[in-house]
Amino acid sequence: MKAVVAWIVTIQLLGAVAQAADDGSQPLFDGKTLNGWKQINGSASYEVIDGEIVGTTRTGTPNSFLATEKTYDDFVLEFEVKQTVGPTNSGVQFRSQSKPDVMQGRVHGPQFDIDPSDRQWTGGIYDEAMSGWWYPGTLNPQPGLYKMDQWNQVRIEAIGPSMRTWVNGVLTAYVLDSTYKEGLIALQVHSIEKPEEAGRKIHWRNIRINEHAVRSAAEASIFVRNNLPNDLSEVERKQGWSLLWDGQSSAGWKSAKGGAFPTQGWRLKNGEMVVTGGGGGDIVTEQTFDAFELQLEFQLTPGANSAIKYLVGDDPQAVGLEYQLLDDDRHPDAKQGRDGNRTLASLYDIQPRAALMTNLGIAPKVGKWQHARIVARKDGTVEHWLNGVRVLKYTRGSQDFRQRVAASKFKDVPQFGELERGHILLQDHGDEVRFRSIKIKTL
């Protein structure tokens, strides 16, 4: 039996050498030892068994990481991963850091998530121990793609600010972010909460890297989470996105009262469009839109109230459907209305958003940039998204919608919310709120 195992390991190593000769990739794991790797944080075990690195969960320890001794900047990383004993969260860090002066050496940075739980977010990208989810699985659901008890093929491409992941040949996440330009690669064994979760195993093999790979052609099939302020990438242009604000001037925007862009109450500086609370009034796009997808980043100050309105008519009151922007914990409006229909990301005074996830990077946080997305389709269906998660869906003109409007403050507005076209509006409610990366795509 030992001779057979040795033969299998030899064949795997020869395959890795052939791969390196074909495309320039090099093995990170020799199939026999942990040479070139070091354990950082935690005390979960890592050992080499039958040509695999096997990590095993252990009670009483934080997240554990087996990290490369070398750091990497631009690369394509490929490996196989399998879990055999009970589902347990795991991941692979890339371009990650461990510095004594930052959280006492706690590993942090981008992570390819391995998640065999019911939510199935494998392939998502998570900023470990820092800002949290950049690309949760909700942005590109792939149910059943990752297989328990089977080897799964993974590809991570990190070239410049572009980070993309594939699971079993399927593109799963696409992020543009310049926070981390180089760093460690590390295999994570996640901490566990229950004693019965001890002994669960994660297997890795055929780990190889190509530091001279050319970025593959831009994919136009999935949502791109672009964290670069006011940037429009090649793939976003291919998907039909355009900047609704150029990041500098007031071009394309005007006062909602019909005049030029306000001379007070709004500040355009440092790539931010800021309503200062100085009485400038609402602003609207000069263009009108019917079916569209809108996204932007916003940052609330403590206690702030504002809104993104859409399908806004030309009437002096600038009536339109409203994606509420609110500090729910501090502003009293959150407790008014009906059933929470004035809370953050709700359809203001008409329909409440769903309960929010509490995950880091998804749960709202005042004083930090958050991501809003509105999808309004030709068939009347509308979605509100917050930080990568859909929190509300409704259909304009439906019986349910009209019943909700009849019970709202808009009950006396004829055919409220049923305009075929309208402006996009940013509201001045007397509080300071920041906006950037405002983009739109017609549908």
200/122 same-domain check: yes
206/135 same-domain check: yes
58/193 same-domain check: yes
- In whole angstroms, give the CA distance from residue 323 to residue 303: 17
34/149 same-domain check: yes
For residue 239, what are the CA distances in angstroms to 196, 244, 297? 47, 15, 19
Give the CATH number for residue 126: 2.60.120.560
Query: Sorting pLDDT into bands at 50, 70 and 90, what band is 283?
Result: very high
> What is the per-residue pLDDT for 9?
39
pTM of the model: 0.93
Query: Sorting pLDDT into bands at 50, 70 and 90, what band is 10?
Result: very low
198/244 same-domain check: no
162/97 same-domain check: yes
Say if 225 falls within a structural domain: no
Say if 218 falls within a structural domain: no
96/193 same-domain check: yes
Contacts of residue 280, Cβ cutoff 8 Å, sequence gap at least 6: 255, 262, 263, 264, 265, 266, 428
Q: Give backbone dihedrals phi and psi of 395, rounded to 5 degrees, phi first.
A: -125, 115
Average the pLDDT over each of 181-190, 208-217, 324-333, 364-373 and give the range with the smallest value. 208-217
- In whole angstroms, give the CA distance from residue 229 to residue 232: 9
Strand, coil or helix: 100: coil
Taking the C-alpha atoms of 228, 229, 234 and 235 in order, what is their torsion angle to the nearest 10 degrees?
Answer: 70
> What is the per-residue pLDDT for 23?
75
Question: Contact at 8 Å (CB) between 92 and 114?
Answer: yes
> What is the per-residue pLDDT for 213?
83
Tell me the average pLDDT across 378-386: 98
> What is the per-residue pLDDT for 101?
95
The DSSP H or E segment spanning 93 is strand 90-96
For residue 68, what are the CA distances in angstroms to 35, 39, 120, 205? 9, 9, 27, 15
Say if 100 falls within a structural domain: yes
Query: Sorting pLDDT into bands at 50, 70 and 90, what band is 253?
Result: very high
Say if 235 falls within a structural domain: no
Flag whether pLDDT at 269 surpasses 70: yes
Flag whether pLDDT at 219 surpasses 90: no
Flag whether pLDDT at 236 surpasses 70: yes
DSSP 335: G
In the listed set 210, 230, 262, which residue is the last one of a domain according to the structure? 210
- In whole angstroms, give the CA distance from residue 375 to residue 441: 9
Say if 417 falls within a structural domain: yes
Q: Which domain holds residue 340?
A: 240-442
> What is the per-residue pLDDT for 13?
41
Question: Contact at 8 Å (CB) between 122 and 167?
Answer: yes
Nearest-Å Rg of the Cα atoms of the chain is: 25
Total of domains in the chain: 2
Quickly list DSSP for 405-435: HHTSTTTTSTTTT--SSBEEEE---SS-EEE
> What is the per-residue pLDDT for 319?
87
192/248 same-domain check: no
Question: Contact at 8 Å (CB) between 107 and 68?
Answer: no
Flag whether pLDDT at 8 surpasses 50: no
SS3 content of the chain, % helix, strand, coil (to 5): 10, 40, 50
Flag whether pLDDT at 14 surpasses 70: no
Flag whether pLDDT at 152 surpasses 60: yes
- In whole angstroms, give the CA distance from residue 107 to residue 102: 9
Query: Sorting pLDDT into bands at 50, 70 and 90, what band is 85?
Result: confident
197/289 same-domain check: no
